[in-house]
Amino acid sequence: MKKIIYPIICILLASCGRGDVNKNNSNNALSDEHFENYKNRFIEALWKVYPGWASSQGYHKYDDVLVVPDEKERDAEVKFAAAYLDSLKLFSVDSLSDNNKTDYHMIENQLLSAIWSVKEMKSWEWNPTEYNVCGAFAEMLNGNYDSLDVRLHNFNLKMKNIPEYYKAAKKNIEDPTEEHTKLAIEQNLGGISVFEKDLKEALKKSKLSNEEKSKMLERADDAVKAIKNFTDWLKKMKNDKPRSFRLGKELYVKKFEYDIQSGYTIDQIYDKAIAHKKELHEKMFELADKLWTKYMDKTPKPADKLVEIKSVIDKLSEIHVKPDSFQSAIEQQMPVLIQFIKDKDLIYIDPSKPLVVRREPDYMAGVAGASISAPGPYDKGGNTYYNVGSLSGWEKDKAESYLREYNKYILQILNIHEAIPGHYTQLVYSNQSPSLIKSLFGNNAMIEGWAVYGERMMLESGYGNNEDEMWLMYYKWNLRSTCNTILDYSVHTKNMSKEDAMNLLINEAFQQKTEAENKWRRVSVTQVQLCCYFTGFTEIYDFREEMKTKLGDKFNLKQFHEKFLSYGSAPVKYIKELMLAEMNSK
Ligand code: ZN
Ligand code: ZN
């Protein structure tokens, strides 16, 4: 496959030619100082335009504001983006520090993407799930960033605009997709308890005056009415020509560019995913065949290769921890992973910011089995937690099926992905080159790609003693992100049917029916998101292989990892550009 290294070489030549600028430190310092000021102004202005986003990131100055999503608001968004794009052009990227270079690209992408979303993507017209106030209000009650009374006071002020908010939503919506309409009804009705129940409980604990309390309950009533009115309207809406949930090629290509910011086009990534799937199947078949007698005894081998692989995977999935030792198994794995990385000299891990494994807090329950909570950009001193779902109280069958999914092998890969050297390690590195821009617009393909790359890199380094079982299960896990990409692109641009999608997920990616059904639901209400794992992984892996070839004997894996992560959560293509430039200047 053709790699797009040509444009990168062009950029290298260009910046080599302007070597004088780079050597002139005082010039650099001035540009960087101006750019820092620009960034500060930009963030302040950003929060004014997007107060809800500000609150969700831990910036609470505009907690009392609920923006009505009408035409005036969209105009303001576009004007803001255009103005900051204009002033961004005053800087020359080449004269900035590496950290600011990547920030520059990320701001530019964010602003272009905002304009495109309003004017071209127009999901404000066809995606009713964009209208839901419940989550933001729930966060105000759950948060502990300020006293309950202060939070409730802001809650009250913010509630004022709810009726207007849903009125504007109704005006915006036109020929929505059936899938998003259905989901919007579910989500809005599901969140209504914030106003019907949670608020009342919070008010009981507060010291607000009775007058203010009753005023709030009145407003909460109006909020509930507005939400129910909106969902009733959606239910009864005459929607003769609903839009298809399939995004279509033109919008998809653009969304991929803005969301992923890859050095590859989506077509290149798709071709790579198809080839990778084939390669994984071949390797898996070889391993399953080798393991057959050990696990399947005298059972005759099925004629179909995929069925043979699936049988061995199912058998291996039976090896798992007991429900009550799920969390302790994860805890015990952390020092093992750290020791392995030290022994193999793979990457330095700063011991001063340890990862805290904890039972998943109640408000997160049921969301994900395991996840990382990092402190927000405005809360630098906070802990990083590894949240582990508790299986206590689960029905036996449900727990068993969950534990088979996160069996002995997959659980280790999950820990590598979420914690070490995956998300947690990447986070520690990105905090060392602090950039508010990267915390806010952090590139998901880079972040997820790193975690997926980490899985592969650990196994290649001998983690799991190169056991066939471990590799087979790893391939199954890797097949998931590969097929996510194939699924997303095929469904949104190639009209893939549900039947073909189920065949891909169940028979070719060895997923359980429930998992496949959930994935189908996800792909029918999101676009591009499912591609970030495989795309990021492929870019990082290909780049590493390219560096190995370029550097030969001088290539050092540890140095590569540390250097790569030192740029923070920037798109891989920019990290690559900077690393190659530095290498060439030596
Ligand atoms: Zn079992
Ligand atoms: Zn992840």
What pTM does this model have?
Answer: 0.91
Return the pLDDT at 8.
Answer: 29
Q: Tell me how far apart the alpha carbons of residues 267 and 26 are, in angstroms, rounded to a whole number.
A: 44
State mean pLDDT over 154-176. 98
Asked if residue 81 belongs to a domain, the reply is yes
Residue 91, pLDDT above cutoff 60: yes
Same domain, 370 and 489: yes
244-256 b/e (C-beta count within 10 Å ≥ 16 → b): ebbbeeebbebbb
Maximum CA extent, the chain: 78
**Ligand with an atom nearest the CA of residue 402:** 1
196 and 95 in a single domain? The answer is: no
- The answer to whether residue 302 sits within a structural domain is no
Distance 474 CA to ligand 2 centre (A): 15
Q: Which ligand is nearest to the CA of 533?
A: 2
Give distance in angstroms: CA of 371 to centre of ligand 2. 8
Amino acid found at 114: A
Residue ranges near ligand 2 (ion) with Cβ within 5 Å: 448, 451
State whether residue 385 is helix, strand or coil: strand
| 112, 132: one domain | no
pLDDT value at residue 230: 98
Give 337 Cα–ligand 1 centroid separation in angstroms: 25
- Give yes or no: residues 215 and 355 share one domain: no
pLDDT tens-digit map of 408-433: 999 999 999 999 999 999 998 988 87
Q: Do 32 and 66 belong together in one domain?
A: yes
Q: Both 528 and 507 in a single domain? A: yes
pLDDT tens track for 389-408: 888 788 898 889 889 989 99
CA 138 vs CA 40, 69, 152, 195: distances in Å: 29, 20, 11, 9
Could you list the residue range(s) of the whole structural domain that residue 368 is in? 260-264+311-565
Shared domain check, 156 and 68: no
pLDDT of residue 366: 54
pLDDT greater than 90 at residue 144: no
pLDDT > 50? residue 460: yes
- Residue 20: pLDDT band with limits 50, 70, 90: very low
Q: What is the pLDDT of residue 433?
A: 74
Give the per-residue pLDDT at 532.
96
Indicate the number of domains in the chain. 3
96/99 Cα distance (integer angstroms): 8
pLDDT tens column, 59-90: 999 999 999 999 999 999 999 999 999 999 99
pLDDT at position 309: 98
pLDDT in tens, 547-560: 999 999 999 999 99
Kindly state the percentage of the chain with pLDDT values over 70: 93
Min mean pLDDT across 201-205, 514-518, 570-574 is at 514-518
Q: Which residues partner with 387 through β-bridges?
A: 358, 371
Same domain, 109 and 139: no
Question: Is 69 within the bounds of a domain?
Answer: yes
Ligand nearest to the CA of 401: 1
Q: Contact, 174 vs 238, CB < 8 A?
A: no
In a domain, residue 387? The reply is: yes
In a domain, 365, yes or no: yes
Give me the chain's average pLDDT, please.
91
Q: Do residues 481 and 411 both lie within one domain?
A: yes
Give the distance (Å) from ligand 1 centre to CA of residue 301.
23
The per-residue pLDDT for 300 is 96
The per-residue pLDDT for 432 is 80
Judgement on whether residues 220 and 367 belong to the same structural domain of the protein: no
Residue 245 falls inside a structural domain? no
- Pairing status of strand 370-373 against strand 385-388: antiparallel
Ligand 1 centroid distance, CA of 323 (Å): 9
pLDDT mean over 108-120: 98
**Cα-to-centroid distance, 334 and ligand 1 (Å):** 24
Contact 310, 301 (CB under 8 A): no
Average of pLDDT values for 560-583?
Answer: 95
- Strand-strand pairing, 385-388 and 356-359: parallel
Do both 228 and 373 map to the same domain?
no
Q: Which of 99, 121, 143 is the last residue of a domain?
A: 121
Domain boundary (236, 251, 281) is at 236
Closest by CA position to 584, among listed 540, 556, 547, 537: 547
Query: What is d(CA 426, CA 419) in angstroms, rounded to the nearest whole number?
Result: 9
Question: For residue 398, how far is its CA from the centre of ligand 1 (angstroms)?
Answer: 11
**pLDDT tops 50 at residue 4:** no
How do residues 320-377 score in pLDDT, each as one tens digit? Answer: 999 889 989 999 999 999 999 999 999 999 888 788 888 877 666 554 467 888 877 8
DSSP string of 434-470? --HHHHHH--HHHHHHHHHHHHHHHHHTTTTTT-HHH
Cα 117–118–122 angle (5° rounding)?
Answer: 75
Q: Relative to the alpha carbon of 477, which ligand is closest?
A: 2
Judge whether 185 lies within some domain.
Answer: yes
Which range among 4-18, 233-247, 285-299, 442-456 shows the weakest confidence by mean pLDDT?
4-18
Q: Which ligand is nearest to the CA of 318?
A: 1
Q: Is 459 exposed, middle or buried (0-12, 13-18, 19+ CB in 10 A)?
A: buried
Report the 10 Å Cβ neighbour count for 203: 19
In a domain, 250, yes or no: no
Measured from the alpha carbon of residue 403, the closest ligand is: 1
Last residue of a domain, one of 101, 121, 141: 121
% pLDDT > 90, the chain: 80
Tell me the CB-side half-sphere exposure of residue 492, using CA atoms within 13 A: 30
Same domain, yes or no, for 350 and 435? yes
